Amino acid sequence: MKALAAFWLRFLTLAAFVMTAGFVFVRGQSPGIKVVDLIPASLSGETNQDSEPFLAVQAVNPQIMVASAFTPNPFSASGNAPVYISEDGGNSWLLSAITPVQRMTCDITHAMPTGENHPRGDLHAGTLACAASITLDESESNDVSASAIMNVQSTRTNVDQPFVRALGISNSDHIYVGLNDFNQLNGHTATVDVSVDGGATYKSVPIEARKTAGQDGPSVRPAVAGDNTVYAAFFGWRKFNGTVATSDVVVVRDDAGAIGPLPFQALKDPSDKLPGRLVVKSVSIPWSNAPTLGQERIGSTLSIAVDPNNSSTVYVGWADHGSKGDIYTLHVRRSTDRGVTWSKSDLPHTTIRSATNIALAVANNGAVGLLYQQLSGGRWVTHVVQSRDAFATIQDVVLANVPANAPAEQFLPYLGDYDYLLAVGNEFRGVFCANNTPDLANFPQGVTYQRAANFSTKTLTDGSGNPVAISIDPFYFSVPVKP
Amino acid sequence: MNTSKFFLAGILCVNLLGVVALPQATGNQAALVKQSSIVFAGTVSQLGATSFAGVPKSAQTVVVRVDSVLKKPSAVSLKKGDNVTVELKDPSAFQQGTQATFYTEGWIFGSGVAVKELGHEFRCGTGEAAKPAGADEKAYQQAQERISDQELQDRLNAADFVVIGRVTDVHRWNAPKSAATRVSEHDPDWHEAVVEVQSVLKGGQVKGNKVVVRFPGRNDVAWVHSPKFEKNQQGIFCLNRDQATGVPTEKVAGRQVAVYTCLGHGDSLPMSDAPRVRALLKN
C-alpha cells in the first residue's frame, strides 16, 4: 500500500512538474530542426532584453559551442559579463561569466578555431566594455568549461563593432577582427585586426583606400576560407548627412592569410584601380539610432560568406534604402571569380523588404544559407533560407513569428544589430533573438525551452510558479543543410 | 535517532563551531552579506560532486540541498529542496550531512545553480532545534539594508560633487567643431541638464548656483543604465568632472565653468533619499 501511495505521489509530482515547468521539453519540433531558448532553467526569473546574439562552434568538436547576447551578469553589477556554453550540440546551455567585461558587454562576437588543439577552447572574443569610454578587448579562453575569466591579449579605445572570425592553423590560430577604428588616419576607419599567433599580437590593417565621409560604416565583416583566403566586406561611406549614408559596398581580399606586407590588396576595382572591389556604388542607407523598423534601429547590416571548399565563390549581403518607399531592404550578390566580378543585380529571392539582421553562410556542399528577420504584419519573422543554385530555387524555413510590439524596448538594439549563421558539417547553425512568449504558434518548427514555461497558458514562470514577464531571449537553431 | 548518534552529532557540532571562525559579529555578517549575491542555508549531500552537467567537478565542489534561501537575485530560480553546487574554500571542514549557511557568489547557471563560497556559518541541525527561517530572513533583511547604505556611501565617496538641485533646462549638447565627432550606434547623443543647486552636500561652493551636467540621451545598450534628466526634476545628484565628452568646460553667463557628468546607475537619487545621504556624508 505504501509503495502504491509512493508511486502515485511520484507520478503526480512529475505530472505537476511537467505541467508547470515545461522546460527541457521539446515542443512540436520539426524533424531535423532544432530551436532552443538559451535561457537556463536556473535563470527562469530573468526579464532582460537579451538581444544581439552571436555563436561560435568548435570546428573539431562541434558539440562545444559558445553563444552570447546582451545578457548581464545575473548576480552582480561588478561581476563579469557572461556567455552561454553548450557541450551537447546545443541541446542544453548554461551561463558562465567568463568575458573580461564588467556586468554586460555592449558588443561581443567570437570564434573557436582549433589550431591550438584545446578540446574545449580556443575561444577568441572581441568585446566592447561600456563605461565613460568604450573599450575593445581582444581575449582568449583555452577552456570555456573551466569558467576562468578570458585572458585579455589586446585592448584599446575608440573603436566600434568588433567582428571576430578565425582559422585554426597548426598551433597558432589566425584571427581576424573586423572593426570600425576611429584611431585610423584620414577617415579610413574600416579596419581588420590581424593576428597570426593565436592573439598574442595583433596588427591593425586599414582596408579603406578611398575618400570617406570622415569615416566608414560600423559593420566590417571578415570571412575566412580553409585555403587561407580572407575576404572582408565593409560600407565605404562617401557622404553622410546625419540620417542617410551614401555608401559603397566594398569587398577586399587577401590570398595568404593577410600576413604579407600589403594585406587585403588582392582585389582592385576597375573604375579607379584602388584596392577594394565596389560591389555596388552609392547606395542610400538610412541611419536611425531610434526605433524605426518596428522597435529596432537601422543603419548597418552587412554579411559576407565564402565557400569553405572553393574560395572563389563568395556571397555578400547588405541592407539599404531599397525602393518604392521601403525603408530597409536586404540584397544578396555573388561572385564566382574571387570577388573580381559580381552579379549585376540581386540574386533571385534575395531582395527582401522591411528586413534586417542578414547573415550568410556556405556549407561544405556549396549550399548557401541566408538568415534574416523581417517585419511583416506587425510581427518579427525569422527566416532561414537555403539554396543549392544561388537562390534560383530556395527552401525557406520560418523559425519564429512573434509579435513585434511586445515586449517594450528596454534599449537599442531591440533584437540586435546582427544575428549569426554558421555552416557546420551537414547543418546550418545560428542564433537569433525574439519575443520569448511560450506559444507554439510563434515557433512553426517547434521549440525547446530550458527556462520554466507553461505552453498551455503561454506564460513564463520563475520556477516556483510565479509569473514572469515576457522579454527578448536568444534562440539557438540548427537546420539540416539541403542535400 | 538513538542516544549515541544524538551524542555524536552534538560533539561534531560543538567541534565544528570550535574550529571554524564564525562571522559572529554583526559587522562581519553584514560584510559577508554585502559580498554575497546568494545566501542560503543547506545540508551537504555529496562531496567532490556537482549537481548538474557542465560544472567542473573537483575536490572543492560539493552538492548542497537547500533548506532555505536568504538572499538571491530575482532572476535566479532557487528554492528549498533544490540541489546547489558549491565550490568551497576549504572542503576539509565539511562532511556529508553538514548543515551550514553559505555566503556565496554566483558561478554557473544551467539546469541548476552553481556558486562559489565566500564564507559560511555552520548550523547545528542535529540535536538542536533549527532556527526558524523567518528569524533568519529578518536578520538578513536588516543586514541588506545596511549594505545599501554602504553601496551608497561608496558612490558618494567617488563623486566630486553631491548636490540637491532642480533641473531647470535640458537640451542637446552640440559639440564644438574642434571636437572629434564619430558616428556610431553607441553615440551617446550628449545632452546637457542645467541644475539649479539648492544645497551642496559634498564639494565646494557653486558660483551662480547652477551647474551643467552632461548625460547620454541615447537609449543605446552602452548607456541604458545612465540617468536621464528631465526638466523640473528634483533630486540628489552625484557628479563627476566631465572626462567623457572631451570638452570638459563650457561658457556659462560669460565665464568658463567646469562641466560635470552623471553616468552611473544610481547617481541620480530621489529627494526621499536626502536624510540617508546626509547621514552617510557625516560619517
CATH number at residue B240: 2.40.50.120
Domain assignment present for residue B228? The answer is: yes
Question: Residue A390 in contact with residue A347, Cβ under 8 Å?
Answer: yes
Residue B125's closest CA among B250, B13, B19, B274? B13
**Co-location of B29 and B102 in the same domain:** yes
Domain assignment present for residue B237? The answer is: yes
Over 70: is that where the pLDDT of A384 sits? yes
Domain assignment present for residue B182? The answer is: no
**Co-location of B76 and B147 in the same domain:** yes
Domain assignment present for residue B108? The answer is: yes
Instruction: Give A74→chain B minimum CA distance, Å.
Output: 7
Question: Residue A237 in contact with residue A261, Cβ under 8 Å?
Answer: no
**Co-location of B119 and B195 in the same domain:** no
Chain A residues in contact with B110 (beta carbon < 8 A): 40-42, 92-95
Instruction: Give A412→chain B minimum CA distance, Å.
Output: 5
Over 60: is that where the pLDDT of B146 sits? no
Residue ranges making up the domain that contains B216: 159-174+189-282
Q: Give the pLDDT of residue A115.
A: 76
Q: Give the pLDDT of residue A14.
A: 42
Grid cell locating B202: 559634498
Does the distance separating the beta carbons of B221 and A70 come in below 8 Å? Answer: yes
Give residues with Cβ within 8 angstroms of A80, minimum separation 6: A73, A97, A98, A99, A100, A101, A102, A103, A149
Summarize pLDDT for A36-48 with one digit per residue, the tens.
999 999 999 999 9
**Co-location of B198 and B137 in the same domain:** no
Domain assignment present for residue B33? The answer is: yes
Residue A33's closest CA among A458, A426, A418, A305? A426
Summarize pLDDT for A245-296 with one digit per residue, the tens.
999 999 999 999 999 999 999 999 999 999 999 999 999 999 999 999 999 9
- In this prediction, residues A6-22 reach a mean pLDDT of 45
Instruction: Give A71→chain B minimum CA distance, Å.
Output: 11
Q: Give the pLDDT of residue A325.
A: 75
Question: Residue A406 in contact with residue A396, Cβ under 8 Å?
Answer: no
Grid cell locating A84: 552561454
Calpha distance A359→A362 (Å, rounded): 11
Q: Which of A95, A182, A411 sits opposite B182 (nearest CB)?
A: A182
Calpha distance A317→A326 (Å, rounded): 17
Domain assignment present for residue B180? The answer is: no
Instruction: Give B13→chain A minimum CA distance, Å.
Output: 32
**Co-location of B231 and B128 in the same domain:** no
Write down how long chain B is.
283
Q: Choose from B108, B148, B214 for mutation: most chain A CBs within 10 A.
A: B108
Domain harbouring B146, CATH code: 2.40.50.140
**Co-location of B97 and B26 in the same domain:** yes
Does the distance separating the beta carbons of A95 and B110 come in below 8 Å? Answer: yes
Instruction: Label residue B22 exposed, middle or buried (CB < 10 Å: 0-12, 13-18, 19+).
Output: middle
Question: Residue A330 in contact with residue A275, Cβ under 8 Å?
Answer: no
**Co-location of B214 and B261 in the same domain:** yes
Does the distance separating the beta carbons of A133 and B222 come in below 8 Å? Answer: no
Calpha distance A439→A457 (Å, rounded): 9
Give residues with Cβ within 8 angstroms of A27, minimum separation 6: A440, A443, A446, A447, A448, A449, A455
Domain assignment present for residue B181? The answer is: no
Calpha distance A302→A48 (Å, rounded): 26
A49 to chain B: closest CA residue: B221
Instruction: Give B79→chain A minimum CA distance, Å.
Output: 8
**Co-location of B112 and B163 in the same domain:** no
**Co-location of B146 and B169 in the same domain:** no
What letter would DSSP give residue B140?
Answer: H
Summarize pLDDT for A394-424 with one digit per residue, the tens.
999 999 999 999 999 999 999 999 999 999 9
Number of compact structural domains in chain B? 2
B240 to chain A: closest CA residue: A132
What residue has cell string 567537478? B57
Domain assignment present for residue B179? The answer is: no
Q: Give the pLDDT of residue A283.
A: 97
If you count residue pairs, one on A and one on B, with CB atoms under 8 Å apart, how many are there? Answer: 150
Q: Which of A42, A52, A417 sits opposite B110 (nearest CB)?
A: A42
**Co-location of B126 and B166 in the same domain:** no
Q: Choose from A37, A49, A239, A289 for mutation: most chain B CBs within 10 A.
A: A289
Does the distance separating the beta carbons of A287 and B183 come in below 8 Å? Answer: yes
* pTM of the full structure: 0.90
Q: Give the pLDDT of residue A18.
A: 39
Summarize pLDDT for A324-338 with one digit per residue, the tens.
778 999 999 999 999
- In this prediction, residues A63-82 reach a mean pLDDT of 93
Does the distance separating the beta carbons of A75 and B38 come in below 8 Å? Answer: yes
Number of neighbours of residue A261 by Cβ within 10 angstroms: 5
Number of neighbours of residue B215 by Cβ within 10 angstroms: 25
Question: Residue A206 in contact with residue A191, Cβ under 8 Å?
Answer: yes
**Co-location of B123 and B210 in the same domain:** no
**Co-location of B223 and B137 in the same domain:** no
* CB-based burial, A59-69: b 16+ in 10 Å, e otherwise: beebebbbbbb
